[in-house]
Amino acid sequence: MKIKKTWKLPLPEESEDGLDWHPVVRVGRVIPFGYQQDENDKDILLPIKKELELLEKAKKYIKQYSYRQVANWLSNESGRYISHVGLVKRIKLEQKRKSNASAQSYLAERYKEALHKAEELSKERFGRTPSSDFNI
């Protein structure tokens, strides 16, 4: 079985100080914008809070400015270079993952409803619920 290695950005948590970011596991050779390699463990990427917060602002600026302009602003503000192509890829990938997550949660709810209806039909037909038939 082939295992797909994909880098998933953890969702930040709200706190009094703003957003709390979490370390992630490194799966590729490129360290993504907003993260740095842990000195003690080469497989862990530590968040750089300033860069990640600037990236969140940059996502809002995309609505008004071009990717090239926003990437230049982001590079100047953070002191770390990111190309407009890299910014496009990062934003598109996050949008794709968000869309996939919402689709999966929708399907999970639909499957729960279908399972419940199947159990009810089974009760009506057979007068009992076979526990092994509907376990997921």
Contact present, 27 and 6 (Cβ < 8 Å): yes
How large is the average pLDDT for residues 34-45?
92
How large is the average pLDDT for residues 65-76?
94
Domains contained in the chain, number? 1
In-domain check, residue 5: no
- The model's pTM: 0.63
d(CA 36, CA 16) in angstroms, rounded, equals 24
Encode pLDDT of 77-114 as tens digits. Answer: 999 999 999 999 999 988 898 888 888 989 999 999 99
Q: Which two tokens stand for residue 124?
A: 């009506």
> What is the DSSP secondary structure assignment for residue 10, as one 8-state letter?
P
How large is the average pLDDT for residues 29-46?
91
In-domain check, residue 132: no
Encode pLDDT of 1-25 as tens digits. Answer: 455 555 555 555 555 556 778 888 8
In-domain check, residue 120: yes
In-domain check, residue 2: no
In-domain check, residue 135: no
Going by pLDDT thresholds of 50, 70 and 90, the confidence category of residue 47 is very high
Going by pLDDT thresholds of 50, 70 and 90, the confidence category of residue 40 is very high
Predicted pLDDT at 1: 45
Predicted pLDDT at 5: 54
In-domain check, residue 99: yes
Going by pLDDT thresholds of 50, 70 and 90, the confidence category of residue 124 is confident
Q: Which residues of 51-75 are buried (b: 16+ CB within 10 A; e: fewer)?
A: bbbbbeebeeeeeeeebeebbbebb
Instruction: State the residue range of the domain holding 98.
Output: 13-126
In-domain check, residue 82: yes
In-domain check, residue 58: yes
